[in-house]
Structure 1
Amino acid sequence: MTSLHPRLRALESSFGLSTLSPIVDPILSGLRIQLWIKRDDLLHPVISGNKWRKLKYLLNDALVDGADTLVSMGGAYSNHLHALAFAGNSLGLKTIGYVRGERPNVINPTLRDLILWGMELRFVSRSDYRQLRAFKSGTMPDLQANQCWLPEGGASASALRGVAEIMDEIPIRYDHMLVACGTGTTLAGLISAAPAHCRVTGISALKGADFLKDDVKRLLSPNRFYTHWQILQDYHFGGFAKSSPELKQFMRQFYASHAIALEPVYTGKLLFAVFDLLEKGYFKPGQRIVVLHTGGLQGARH
């Protein structure tokens, strides 16, 4: 077990607890199915959910190696850059973010936060952004000796390690775990640590996400053969960060019934998918389901 750098340990000590909340709903009792939500959104008001899980050991590696600058990439609404900017500011590290697309005329709330927390924003064309995606941890050219490169979404073995810790925090036996998918990094971390009897399902927030399957496979250990997972691609609502009146109404009803906030980019689509699958008879009577709330509620501002 790796000892955390003192600065990182101090930051983590300020976090809340990620609880396991049971969901009570007529459709569940009618099907004799039990559903829990792993409340990683409660970890921290900014670095919540899978953002912290993926960053934890990447940040630790950077601090141990003596880096003073974190460099990464994301879109204009990126939860990853949002969490990285706050974490860097909290840890006394400089941050640089390559942002997909031209600098907008009006700065959105996410970008305003990045600037507030001291992140240097570098807007790049979509073609240049695609080229940046090719660089894995530590491989970006022209990095200075004191800089640490983190790939999009934190996709790396260190990120998987942080995500895998979630499994140690679930004290019940369960048959299914479901999670929203962006880069597939969180899904890969869950697959790597899931019990053999558990099926892990990713709900893609992106349209045309066939490539995610290969990305997940590349992240997983080549020495093991994983068969207990899948990615469902029918709940993107038109594409990444796209929404619809139906999704927004579902999110309002879910909050009214369970007092758990969702956002339309990831977790809203995830819970919509879960209840749609319940209605379609996807889960068997008597099964237990855990849904991972990955936080990112800042996405509800857009």
Structure 2
Amino acid sequence: MGHQASAVIALHPRLKALQRSLAAAPLTKINDPELADRQLELWIKRDDLLHPIISGNKWRKLKYILNHALYAGADCIVSMGGAYSNHLHALAFSGKALGLKTIGFIRGERPPQLNPTLNDLLDWGMELRFVSRSHYRQLRGYQGHDSLPELQPGQYWLPEGGATYLALQGVAELVDEIEIDFDILAVACGTGTTLAGLLASPLAQHAIGVAAMKGGDFLINDVEQLLEMQRMTSHADRRILVDYHFGGFAKTTPVLLAFMQDFQRRHGIELEPIYTGKLLFALYDLIRRDYFPAGQRIVAIHTGGLQGKRN
């Protein structure tokens, strides 16, 4: 298949400086008899290697959002997430690096002792505002960067997980970097933004999303809405798998943990149990059930998030 470059967007000088600190995100081929026996190829797009902190889809999603905020003259980014949020973790670090204040609405009551993620947020200068779950659900209703009613001058609102059309543009660039022909893209899903960004690329013809939480059927509509915000129609086949959540978001089981440990031992690639572990478990389960026709090449996106393993 041919490769089509994404439209070039001028980056703010401060953002250019941050981008220069990023490393390459290579493709790694998984050599495995199970794959060879079925005449399949599995490759991992190693976005976890982009940066020690703002790795994976977090940087992809934040890149053009932060660019827009900087050019709009914002001096503070306000967003939301759970107590283990990779999104807020990357945002707080990026805000400090760019000289922007950050405020995070955290779902639930303030715990007596903060976990490593929340301590990092504080260390990087993010103001933490713990809110009730009902208030948190209300915050999900505000999508535009200026839509949050209590915003002050200079503040820029960023929805949960960076779910905006600007995030899709950053994720779509990931597909342009894949220098081999491929049949299927596969990614874990939280808000569905990364999957929508993959589908926003004309190079994506078939995509699989693996829901990280129970009741992930809502992701189907959310992905379509994000694509509509981009004013584009994706003709790519897509399927969202909702039965690999292992009990719910951030839940795990001995079976999942054993799979992750075995995968890391055999292939030297670290996974985490919230997203990437579930993604690879689902792909191997499909492979063993002969879901993929012989001869197909699958590219799985490693979306980083390894910091969450500390909590």
The residue aligned with 1:177 is: 185
**Per-residue deviation at 1:195?**
2.5
The residue aligned with 2:262 is: 253
Q: Aligned equivalents of 1:274 and 1:38: distance in 2?
A: 14
The residue aligned with 1:8 is: 15
**Per-residue deviation at 1:145?**
1.9
Q: 1:227 to 1:12 in 2, by over 3 A?
A: closer
Q: Aligned equivalents of 2:215 and 2:103: distance in 1?
A: 29
The residue aligned with 1:163 is: 171
The residue aligned with 2:105 is: 98
Q: Aligned equivalents of 2:236 and 2:98: distance in 1?
A: 39
Q: Aligned equivalents of 1:194 and 1:249: distance in 2?
A: 37
The residue aligned with 1:51 is: 58
8 Å Cα contact 2:272-2:308 kept in structure 1: yes
After superposition, give the CA deviation of every residue in 1:145-170 in whole Å (9 maximum; x if it has no partner).
20110000000010000000011101
8 Å Cα contact 2:208-2:241 kept in structure 1: yes
The residue aligned with 2:3 is: none
Q: Where in structure 2 are there 5+ consecutive unaligned residues?
A: 1-7
Number of positions where the alignment pairs a residue of Structure 1 with one of Structure 2:
301
Q: Aligned equivalents of 1:227 and 1:88: distance in 2?
A: 35
The residue aligned with 2:156 is: 148
Aligned residue for 1:127, secondary structure, equals helix
- Give the letter for the 1:285 counterpart: A
- Give the letter for the 2:249 counterpart: F
**Per-residue deviation at 1:227?**
4.8
Q: Where has structure 1 moved over 6 Å in runs of 4 or more?
A: none
Q: Where in structure 1 are there 5+ consecutive unaligned residues?
A: none
Aligned residue for 1:220, secondary structure, equals helix
The residue aligned with 1:202 is: 209
Identity of aligned residues (%): 61
**Per-residue deviation at 1:299?**
1.2
After superposition, give the CA deviation of every residue in 1:30-67 in whole Å (9 maximum; x if it has no partner).
00101100000000000000000000000001111111
The residue aligned with 1:266 is: 275
Listed as ranges, the matches of 1:1-302 within 5 Å are 1-138=8-145, 139-195=147-203, 198-221=205-228, 222-224=231-233, 226-302=235-311
Aligned residue for 1:16, secondary structure, equals coil
8 Å Cα contact 1:94-1:119 kept in structure 2: yes
8 Å Cα contact 1:38-1:291 kept in structure 2: yes
After superposition, give the CA deviation of every residue in 1:191-238 in whole Å (9 maximum; x if it has no partner).
111426x31010000101111111111000355253511100111000
| Normalised TM-score (structure 2) | 0.95
**Per-residue deviation at 1:2?**
1.6
Q: Aligned equivalents of 2:92 and 2:171: distance in 1?
A: 20
Q: Aligned equivalents of 2:86 and 2:92: distance in 1?
A: 10
| TM-align CA RMSD | 1.0
| Normalised TM-score (structure 1) | 0.98
